Structure 1
Amino acid sequence: MASTSDPAQITEETSEATPSELQQNSIPTISVLFASSSLSLSAISPQFSFPHSPPKKQPIYKLPTKPSSSPSFSSFSCLSLSSSVSLPPPKLTSLRPAFSPTTLIAPIPLFPRRPLDPSGGAALRRVSIVWFRCDLRLSDNECFNAANDESMSVLPVYCFDPRDYGKSSSGFDKTGPYRAKFMLGCVANLRENLRARGSDLIVRFGRPEEVLVEMAKAIGADACFAHREVSKDEVGTEERIEATMKEEGVDVKYFWGGSLFHVDDLPFGLEDMPTTYCGFQEKVKALEVRKTIDALHQLKGLPKRGDVEPGDIPSLVDLGFNQSATVAQDGKPAAYNSLVGGETEAIERLQKYSSECQAYQNKGSSTSFFGADFSCKISPWLTSGCISPRSIFHELKKATSGAFSVASKQKDRVCSSSSGAGLDWWTCELMWRDFFRFITRKYNSSKAAKPDNSPATACTGALS
């Protein structure tokens, strides 16, 4: 028996083999060959691997017709044959670290892919910040819903801006103790509602343009979502945040959600905003009020990077007030101290008021106002954004069987405060609120065209 280490003997025996025998014996040996090649190349790159089937252009190796009984044949021949294979060296610069346990699966990219179509499912952002301002609610909150739809994780943030507290140049409180206590309740309720849905609220005391940038750096945020506001100071804060976020490569997306009518639905641009309420009412009376947006039941979790602490909600003392700031002179709590802030309380009040309106309507009463002292007393919650004007409109419209219209057909009934016929007066109040928000935004928007010098006035007799 010839030695298996003799190459000439291997070639001679192979030449005498029939094609069928060669085919039967080549398959298992080639498999071993590729296994040994794969092991030798794995030292170069953990991601390099051979496919399950051999390439089309594979060199033909001359193998023995009969397997040898020597135990050293397979190991020696594999080593000699694998070393004779000529393969191009892999390009190390093109290799990426593999996150998958098997190299047959494509590795996860380090950064999310962003196609040209932002509506695609692959356009999800990794981390987004939602900056809560005067929109301390989850229902009918387009900004918060959009952030959850477009992101893999969301960080809700609320900032107690020190510029909103303390004394003004005139010596008055910028924020009184009763309003401050109410806002603390609104923020606390928002945190409870977020935690009940799998998220949380990050609370900080500081300037938003500083706090939000630090948060974005810590968690590697891709975008910041927020609702636009209208006053001069608020618009200035928005511009500073856009400037600082742009330096960090973070997109800032603003939404509109504090009015009955959406700013994009107005039949005119803000630079052409009428300066009288009657002119405004005449142009928008044919508009439809958008439907409300339901609150999400399950929210995206907080980002794992950064280990951001939720933070404590400050007390009145932390905001610069005395312990006795909300106590009357007789030592008893003041009347306004009993108001409970938050979206939960706002929804309960609206539903109670709506039921009362429906009961009066079923009795055929023509009373214009219902509720305690002929008022729903929901203004504090509406101002802080615990409930939206659209939610109020649609809830009362449902309670009155659709008789609640956007604007009365009789023009004088809408523009005159003495003509509160039925629930149409509620629409008038919400439209007045829209008028002042839009006109304020018109004169405080740096991007809008230079407005005329005519002052914003009301119709004759509108405010008697």
Structure 2
Amino acid sequence: MQKSKNNSNLIWFRNDLRTIDNAVLHESQKNGNPLIAVYCFNPLHFTIDKFGFNKTEKFRAKFLIESVRDLKRQLNNLNIDLLVFHQEPEAVFPELCKTYNVNSIFIQTEWTSEEIEVEHAVKSKLDSINWHKIYNQFLYHPEDLNFEITHTPQVFTNFRKQLEKHVAIRPELQPKTYPESNRITNITKIPTLEDLGFDDFETHPHSAFPFKGGETEANKRLEDYFFNTKKLGFYKKTRNGLVGTDYSSKFSPWLANGCISAKTIYWQVKKFEKEFFKNQSTYWLIFELIWRDYFKYVSLRYGNQIFKLEGILQKDYDWSSNQTQIQNWINGETESEFVNANMIELKETGWMSNRGRQNVASYFAKALELDWRIGAAYFESLLIDYDVHSNYGNWMYVAGVGNDPRDRKFNVELQAERYDANRKFRSLWLQPTLF
């Protein structure tokens, strides 16, 4: 690696693995300084958590590798090199900053505990660096809100109504291409699944999410779901489906890894409405993006309270941690066929429908009365679209310690009759697997 003579900017990628509509990239390019990009596969993310699960299982790991690989290609087209390390960021950054004469680091603003701890570890090893933290994962930008974050409404409907007709969505940002002179000698390698401790594997033939990670794949899916098939126009009718690739948009894994932004999806919905038609379904996709924002604002308001047993409502229930019941739930061996089918799908594919998630989480927390944080940690491990705010927000919600004032309990048998009347889903996952 050659030493840089000029002051350089460094963009540290985390859950923002894209070039289009990336506010961090946009800010890092403003002053025209040489720019390098860094991604670290932090070994911390591949350790065992306090409940005994891999923090990141093979499904998330594979999607992440694909996403970083594509990011490297996209940045390459802009003459920006992505340096990739399989090390703790605090071990990598001091030497990098010295070698490339970095005086400014640009990162997406994060606020949950693990991300903040890693940031602090890096900052403690660096002197005289300017840090630029930029909000980059919202539909409604925090600076545009018409209320204080500390006054984020306790009920989603109030949050939505305060925003959707009163606050504008910012335009999409486009990256700039650098001259060839911005290139550096880059000998770093993206780790393989084996490097991260997993055997390679094929996607399950019945997976409802057979897609790959990365910005290119995210935009391909959007083009297909919106403009080629116009499935967007039926989204509200099909979104509670259980089988197949097209019952829902499937954007969540790309959103969770930042391969596409909520704003990009929003503006593409608006384009669809202008070119074709506007209906309840086109609105409902935006409605779901607002839900995603809501859980981010809830976690911004309440901080680490979202990880605590009593949740943001600080309600005291008598939770169990019965290992037999937990394992039966994980292995799809409960008394409910509907729960079992969903849990087997998750175990085999790293994916589960929204309808399935609501049911299995409610069954775990309300029927079995198990410590909901264990269920949330299992989801964190397995789900390709794991997003800290949505995961813990939804689990608190169904466990009765979050944003649901009604404290509901799902009747999983009635739900099965309603959403799997022909037993197609249960038959798919409860038959002896040949895979």
In which range does the TM-score fall when normalised by the shorter chain? 0.5 to 0.7
- Report the Cα distance in structure 2 between the residues aligned to 1:359 and 1:173, rounded to whole angstroms: 36
Distance 1:188 1:249, change over 3 A: same
Distance 1:271 1:360, change over 3 A: closer
Out of 294, 304, 313, which is 2:190 matched to? 313
- Report the Cα distance in structure 1 between the residues aligned to 2:183 and 2:34, rounded to whole angstroms: 5
Distance 1:396 1:452, change over 3 A: closer
**Conservation of the 8 A alpha-carbon contact between 1:131 and 1:226:** yes
Out of 188, 213, 236, which is 2:94 matched to? 213
Root mean square deviation, CA, Å: 3.4
Distance 1:127 1:277, change over 3 A: same
Question: Is 1:296–2:242 an aligned residue pair?
Answer: no
Q: Which residue of 2 aligns with 1:224?
A: 105
**Conservation of the 8 A alpha-carbon contact between 1:187 and 1:342:** yes
Summarize deviations over 1:116-151 as a string: whole Å, max 9, x none.
Answer: xxxxxxxxx820110011111100011112212224
- Name the aligned partner's letter for residue 177 of structure 1: K
Summarize deviations over 1:397-448 as a string: whole Å, max 9, x none.
Answer: 110118999xxxxxxxxxxxxxx932221122111111111111223389xx
Structure with the higher helix share, 1 or 2: 2
Summarize deviations over 1:71-123 as a string: whole Å, max 9, x none.
Answer: xxxxxxxxxxxxxxxxxxxxxxxxxxxxxxxxxxxxxxxx9xxxxxxxxxxxx
Question: Is 1:424–2:296 an aligned residue pair?
Answer: no
**Conservation of the 8 A alpha-carbon contact between 1:273 and 1:438:** yes
TM-superposed CA distance for 1:152, in Å, is 1.9
TM-superposed CA distance for 1:210, in Å, is 2.9
Question: Is 1:339–2:242 an aligned residue pair?
Answer: no
- Name the aligned partner's letter for residue 136 of structure 2: G
**Conservation of the 8 A alpha-carbon contact between 2:235 and 2:285:** no
- Secondary structure, counterpart of 1:423 in structure 2: helix
TM-superposed CA distance for 1:173, in Å, is 1.4
- Report the Cα distance in structure 1 between the residues aligned to 2:231 and 2:271, rounded to whole angstroms: 13
Distance 1:463 1:312, change over 3 A: farther
Distance 1:462 1:156, change over 3 A: farther
TM-superposed CA distance for 1:396, in Å, is 0.9
**Conservation of the 8 A alpha-carbon contact between 2:235 and 2:249:** no
Out of 144, 162, 167, which is 2:48 matched to? 167
Out of 250, 263, 273, which is 2:152 matched to? 273
- Report the Cα distance in structure 1 between the residues aligned to 2:194 and 2:7, rounded to whole angstroms: 38
Distance 1:132 1:340, change over 3 A: same
- Report the Cα distance in structure 2 between the residues aligned to 1:321 and 1:366, rounded to whole angstroms: 35
Out of 143, 150, 171, which is 1:264 matched to? 143
- Report the Cα distance in structure 1 between the residues aligned to 2:58 and 2:183, rounded to whole angstroms: 35
- Report the Cα distance in structure 1 between the residues aligned to 2:112 and 2:285, rounded to whole angstroms: 24
Distance 1:442 1:137, change over 3 A: same
Out of 296, 299, 319, which is 1:437 matched to? 296
**Conservation of the 8 A alpha-carbon contact between 2:9 and 2:28:** yes
TM-superposed CA distance for 1:178, in Å, is 1.3
**Conservation of the 8 A alpha-carbon contact between 1:166 and 1:320:** no
Q: Which residue of 1 aligns with 2:199?
A: 322
Q: Which residue of 2 aligns with 1:355?
A: 227
Kindly, what percent of the aligned residue pairs are identical?
Answer: 27
Q: Which residue of 1 aligns with 2:357?
A: none
- Secondary structure, counterpart of 2:137 in structure 1: coil
Choose between structure 1 and 2 for higher RCO, CA contacts under 8 A separated by at least 6 residues. Answer: 2
Summarize deviations over 1:153-198 as a string: whole Å, max 9, x none.
Answer: 0010000011111322222111110110111111111111122222
Out of 377, 392, 396, which is 2:269 matched to? 396
- Name the aligned partner's letter for residue 422 of structure 1: S
* Structure 2: gaps spanning 5 or more residues: 306-310, 315-400, 411-435
TM-superposed CA distance for 1:266, in Å, is 1.3
- Report the Cα distance in structure 1 between the residues aligned to 2:44 and 2:292, rounded to whole angstroms: 25
TM-superposed CA distance for 1:271, in Å, is 2.2
- Secondary structure, counterpart of 1:181 in structure 2: helix
User: Which has the greater radius of gyration?
Assistant: 1
Summarize deviations over 1:282-338 as a string: whole Å, max 9, x none.
Answer: 32222111111123244675476xx6x440110111111134xx358xxx7784784
Out of 56, 59, 66, which is 1:178 matched to? 59
**Conservation of the 8 A alpha-carbon contact between 1:127 and 1:303:** no
- Secondary structure, counterpart of 1:139 in structure 2: coil
- Secondary structure, counterpart of 1:170 in structure 2: coil
Question: Is 1:458–2:339 an aligned residue pair?
Answer: no
TM-superposed CA distance for 1:279, in Å, is 2.8
Distance 1:300 1:241, change over 3 A: farther
Question: Is 1:236–2:117 an aligned residue pair?
Answer: yes
- Report the Cα distance in structure 2 between the residues aligned to 1:372 and 1:336, rounded to whole angstroms: 5
**Conservation of the 8 A alpha-carbon contact between 1:133 and 1:158:** yes
TM-superposed CA distance for 1:274, in Å, is 2.2
Distance 1:327 1:197, change over 3 A: closer
**Conservation of the 8 A alpha-carbon contact between 1:178 and 1:336:** no
* Structure 1: gaps spanning 5 or more residues: 1-110, 112-124, 406-419
How many pairs are equivalent? Answer: 311
- Report the Cα distance in structure 2 between the residues aligned to 1:342 and 1:431, rounded to whole angstroms: 23
- Secondary structure, counterpart of 1:400 in structure 2: helix
TM-superposed CA distance for 1:273, in Å, is 2.1
- Name the aligned partner's letter for residue 295 of structure 1: P
**Conservation of the 8 A alpha-carbon contact between 1:153 and 1:300:** no
Distance 1:360 1:168, change over 3 A: closer
**Conservation of the 8 A alpha-carbon contact between 1:126 and 1:222:** yes
**Conservation of the 8 A alpha-carbon contact between 1:188 and 1:342:** yes
- Report the Cα distance in structure 1 between the residues aligned to 2:292 and 2:232, rounded to whole angstroms: 26
- Secondary structure, counterpart of 1:401 in structure 2: helix
Summarize deviations over 1:438-464 as a string: whole Å, max 9, x none.
Answer: 111223389xxxx98666413659997
- Report the Cα distance in structure 1 between the residues aligned to 2:291 and 2:222, rounded to whole angstroms: 20
- Report the Cα distance in structure 2 between the residues aligned to 1:147 and 1:252, rounded to whole angstroms: 11
- Name the aligned partner's letter for residue 113 of structure 2: K
Q: Which residue of 1 aligns with 2:15?
A: 134
Q: Which residue of 2 aligns with 1:89?
A: none
- Report the Cα distance in structure 1 between the residues aligned to 2:222 and 2:235, rounded to whole angstroms: 20
